[in-house]
Structure 1
């Protein structure tokens, strides 16, 4: 596994790369679902869901590219200044 961190313009970028089997296109739509895992053991499938939820709250995003038999690279983009920072709700 390789992890790459960088500060690029208005975003913080994190890339996580593995050299595993890649993501099967048949299940690709489900990888962000809470509790979904391709592994048989229970109690799995929460990591991507939690990261995706946190990124949504921060105004960030996560993408991936994967090739069967050649691994997967997840790219996470986190804005340095989330959209809600500095905004004040006015009551009146």
Structure 2
């Protein structure tokens, strides 16, 4: 189980949180102008990164606030936690084969 350091409540068990998918994906400026295929790409196609990925999480059984997490998908190590709207921290990216 992961121990996630909520920026508002401190370290808590992963069971208190809900995963909100990949972070920093901008909503299309004119969604009505997108084709069905383009809209499907926006909604469903995400990177399946082997290594560091930026994610959104919500403390659903605590303060109920959203925040971002930089997590290594291979080791499950949480490298950084930062507020919504903030730029992601500069991180060393490991290369996995």
The answer to whether TM tops 0.5 is no
Which structure's relative contact order is higher, taking Cα pairs within 8 Å and 6+ residues apart? 1
Whose Rg is larger?
Answer: 1
Structure 1 length-normalised TM: 0.25
